[in-house]
Chain A
Amino acid sequence: MNPTDDAQFVLPPGLWEDFLSGGRLACARLISLIENEPFARTEIRDRLLPRPGGAVRIGVTGPPGVGKSTLTAALARRALDENHAVGIIAVDPTSPFTGGAFLGDRVRMHSLIGDPRVFIRSMAARDGRGGLSSAAPDAADILDAFGMDRIFIETLGVGQAELDVMTCADVLALVLQPGTGDAIQTLKAGIIETADLIIVNKTDMPGADDLLESLRFLFDSAGAAGKRNAPLLCSASAVEGRGLDEVWTALEGLIVRDRETGRLREKRRARLEGEIRTAISGSLWERYVALAGGTADIALLAERLSREGGSPYPFIRKECGRIKLVRDGRPELPPKKKE
C-alpha cells in the first residue's frame, strides 16, 4: 500500500477520456475509485491538470440537524443564479458497527436536481476525520477539474472536537441554530480562528437573538484579546428563504478578500504542504515495514512496555538509525545485528 509506487492501479479504458469530454457518469466513477481503491488516488491526482481560476471550496460544518444541507442547497441556488457551476459533496456518518451509512442530505437538495450545472455527491465518512470522508478533498479536486466554480463540502453533523479540523476548505462556514447555545461555551479560540463565517440558521425559531448576542459578545472579547480575523456573523432562515442574500454576499466578499490578500493561496499552500508531508511519511513507513519484515517487533515492544513500563525511544532510535537514505532516494535497512 505504498502511495508513491505507481503502476499498481490502471484506470478502466476510456474512463479518463469520458471524464474529459464532460461525462457525468465518468466523473462519478472517478470519485468512487478514489473512495474504494487505495491506489487510484495518486493515479488520478497525476492526471488532474490545473485549471485557470479553478473552484472555490466552501466548507459547511456544524452540529447535527442545524440545517447545513438546506442552507447548502439555498446557497447553491444563489451560485447558479450568478452563473456558477456548482459541485456539492455531502458527507454523512458511517456506522462503526456495520460499516453501512444512511446518506440523507440529498433530501434537502431536491430543488437543484433539474439543473445540469449542478453535481451532487453523497459520501459516507468511513474512517475519515474532521467530519469528512478522506476522499472528500480529492472528490473536490475532481469536481474542480470537471468545471465547477463553487464547491460546497458539507461535513456530517460534528461535535466540538471536530469543528476545527476542516482544512480542505478555502472558506469555512459554521452553521448553528438556536438552542446550540451550550455549544458556544465550548467554542474556544480554535474555531474563532478557523471559521470564516458563522451562520445562525433557523431565525424563525425562538432564541436566535440570544444566540447572536452571545456570539457577538464572544467575538468582541476575542477582538479585545488581540485575536485577528474574528469570523463574520450572519443569520438566516433557510426554510423561509430569509437572510440568504446576506449570507451569499458575505461568502463572496470573503472569497474576494482572501483572493486579494493572498490568504486563499496561503491556505492552499499549507494544505499541499500537509499532504506532501503525510504522503512521504506514509510512504517511508510502508517501506520500513516491508524492509523490517512486518510490525511484529513493534507490537511485542508495545505489549512489553504496557506491562512493565519504560521508554519506547531506545528502540525507535535504533530502528531509525538503521534507515539510510542512499543516492537513488530509497531508504535501506542494513541487516539487523545479532544482539
Chain B
Amino acid sequence: MSDKRLKVIIAKPGLDGHDRGVKVVARALVEAGMEVVYLGLRQTPESIVRAAVEEDADVIGLSVLSGAHLANFRRVKELMNDAGIGGRLLTGGGIIPAGDQDELCALGIGRLFGPGDELQSIVDYIKAWDAGRRP
C-alpha cells in the first residue's frame, strides 16, 4: 500500500547555458510517472547533493556538456558517499568518451547517455535500476 514514486533530481552543473535538453529528459521522466525535481543551470556538486539529501531523491541525473564531466561526476559521487546517499543512482548524459565512461563506471556511477540515445532507454534504465535494488 506504499505510494512510493521514484524521485529524481535533474541538474546541470557548470556554466554552459541552455537547458532545453535536460528539460526534455525531465519531461520524459514525469511522463513515466516519476517525481522530478528540476534544479536548473549553474549548479555546483555541493548544491546538487544538498538538494538530493533534502529531497530524499532516489536518482540524480546530471547533464554535462562542458567537457568537465569527469570532475563533476567524481565530485558528486564523493559528496553522495559522504552524505550517506552513496547507494542512490547517479546517472546522466553528455558527450562522454567511452574510456571516461569506463572510469566513471568503476567509481560506481551508472550508465551515461549520449545524444543518440532514446528517451525511453533512460526511463527503462532508471526503472530497471529501481526494480533491481528491491529485495
Contact = CB atoms under 8 A, between A and B. Distances in A.
A122 B55 contact: yes
A254 to B, nearest CB: 28
B85 A107 contact: no
A37 interface: yes
Contacts of B35: 94, 100-101, 103, 124
Which residue, A101, A103, A113, has most C-beta atoms of chain B within 10 A? A103
B30 A24 contact: no
Contact of A106 (B3, B30, B38, B85): B38
B1 A95 contact: no
B84 A25 contact: yes
Which residue, B1, B35, B39, B84, has most C-beta atoms of chain A within 10 A? B35
A25 B83 contact: yes
B54 A95 contact: no
Nearest to A124: B35
Contacts of A31: 56
Contacts of B42: 110
A183 to B, nearest CB: 27
A217 interface: no
A126 interface: yes
A99 interface: yes
A330 interface: no
B55 A28 contact: yes
Nearest to A31: B56
Contacts of B5: 36, 99-100, 124
Interface in A111-153: 113-114, 119-122, 124, 126
- The secondary-structure label for the interface of chain B is mixed
A122 B53 CA distance: 12
A103 B54 contact: no
A98 interface: yes
B18 to A, nearest CB: 14
A126 B38 contact: no
A49 interface: no
25 contacts: A25-B56, A25-B85, A28-B54, A28-B55, A28-B56, A32-B7, A36-B2, A37-B3, A98-B32, A100-B5, A100-B29, A100-B31, A100-B33, A100-B34, A100-B35, A101-B30, A102-B38, A103-B36, A106-B37, A106-B51, A107-B38, A110-B43, A113-B51, A121-B55, A126-B3
Given A25-B53, A107-B38, 20 more contacts: A24-B54, A25-B83, A28-B53, A28-B55, A29-B56, A36-B2, A98-B32, A100-B5, A100-B31, A100-B33, A101-B35, A101-B36, A102-B27, A103-B35, A104-B38, A106-B40, A107-B39, A113-B47, A120-B51, A121-B54
The 9 A-B pairs at the shortest CB distance, nearest first, are namely A100-B30, A107-B40, A28-B56, A32-B56, A36-B4, A100-B33, A103-B37, A99-B33, A113-B47
Interface of B: 1-5, 7, 26-27, 29-40, 42-43, 46-47, 50-51, 53-56, 83-85
